[in-house]
Amino acid sequence: MQNLNRNDLRQRLTESGFKATHQRIVVLEAVTELHGHHPTAEEVYQKLNPANPTISLGTVYKTLDTFAEAELIKRVLTEEGGKRYDTCTTTHSHIYCSNTREIIDFEDPELENLLRDFFSKKQVNNFEIKSFAVQLTGKKVEPDKQISIK
Amino acid sequence: MQNLNRNDLRQRLTESGFKATHQRIVVLEAVTELHGHHPTAEEVYQKLNPANPTISLGTVYKTLDTFAEAELIKRVLTEEGGKRYDTCTTTHSHIYCSNTREIIDFEDPELENLLRDFFSKKQVNNFEIKSFAVQLTGKKVEPDKQISIK
DNA sequence: TTTACTGCAAAATGTTTGCATAAGG
DNA sequence: CCTTATGCAAACATTTTGCAGTAAA
């Protein structure tokens, strides 16, 4: 879990050139708290709404979009349409469960090194690779004992 | 490019347990012809509309969804919201260009073998992995000389 | 002939926009 | 203060749904 101290959040906003408004602090806080859940704008809104009932859904949409554009957070790949967000963390992969439609983080340093090596050697035609991720699709086989989310 | 012979398309539909209606044949044909373009439902509709003006957009939506569910085609990962489709082909990766927002196919047998090996050895917790893909994000560096799309 | 599919139009969902007001630097 | 962000509501885009009619097997 990342830092949830509001002063630090404020600082991260300022460093990225944003006005540190209450709304932005709270949105960034909510996404951070939901890290690993790959929330939609609506879910971020639900998360922060109880404590911040005056912050509008529209602002959450705008703010998430602005943050993603500035790479303060990132958009998560999905095959379902609809935008999902997550905090930027270390490189990791996602497992998509076609049963439950969950997106589950899968961190594996060995895999990351393997890929980092591969792409450092291999030049991809005319592309400056900024990041990579492996997307696994599959099905849970033991519904109870599962990879822990967050 | 895959086979565009209508009898073959008809057969593939029948084999998947579908009634081989004209609409389905034409939708499957259009997606196949657009392979590598990762079209939206709207784009598939635009493709087939001139020759088939009576086929409705709603049918295209339903048909693509049905096909994806039956894994006759697949949904493509995107960070933009909105569903995109493609024919099922061999395992391959995608490069997403954050400038042009294109999704470009990247086939590399070496990379595929590397990953196939990795996942055959490695057991992923409680998951039956059905497929994997690498998603690269980056930027084109030479706008003119690019990876050819289809 | 029977069942499943299609077209249509309406509804639901998800996201963006414009503008007057409010707040941060 | 001046600029930029917010709230609100309306607009827009995308996708789904229900149902009567139609076509495939």
Residue B80 in tokens: 């933009």
Q: Enumerate the β-bridge partners of residue A127.
A: B140
Q: How far is CA A52 from CA A37, A44, A49, A90, B118, in A?
A: 21, 12, 5, 30, 46
More confident residue, B54 or A108: B54
Q: What does the alpha-carbon distance between residue A48 and residue A42 come to, in Å, rounded to a whole number?
A: 10
Smallest CA-to-CA distance from B67 within B36, B50, B44 is with: B44
Q: What does the alpha-carbon distance between residue B14 and residue B148 come to, in Å, rounded to a whole number?
A: 33
Residue A118 has pLDDT above 60, yes or no: yes
| Distance of residue B12 Cα from the nearest chain A Cα, in angstroms | 23
The tens digit of pLDDT for each residue in B4-47 reads 789 999 999 999 999 999 999 999 999 999 999 999 999 999 99
Residue A150 has pLDDT above 50, yes or no: no
Smallest CA-to-CA distance from A103 within A63, A141, A150 is with: A150
β strands within chain A, DSSP E: 73-76, 84-87, 93-97, 103-106, 127-140
Smallest CA-to-CA distance from A113 within A92, A136, A128, A89 is with: A92
Q: What is the pLDDT of residue B149?
A: 33
Q: What is the pLDDT of residue B64?
A: 98
Q: What is the pLDDT of residue A142?
A: 61
Q: What is the mean pLDDT of residues A63-80?
A: 95
Can you say whether the dihedral through the CA atoms of B56, B61, B66, B67 is positive or negative?
positive
CA of B59 to C1' of D18 (A): 14
pTM (2 decimals)? 0.86
The tens digit of pLDDT for each residue in B76-130 reads 999 999 999 999 887 788 988 877 778 888 888 999 999 988 988 887 777 888 8
Nearest to A79 among B76, B110, B119 (CB): B76
Which protein residues have their Cβ less than 7 angstroms from some atom of strand C? A 14, 19-22, 40-42, 57-58, 61-62, 65, 82-83; B 18-19, 21, 23-24, 54-56, 58-59, 62-63, 81
The tens digit of pLDDT for each residue in B43-87 reads 999 999 999 999 999 999 999 999 999 999 999 999 999 999 999
Count A/B contacts: CB-CB distance under 8 Å.
Answer: 131
Q: What is the mean pLDDT of residues A112-129?
A: 84
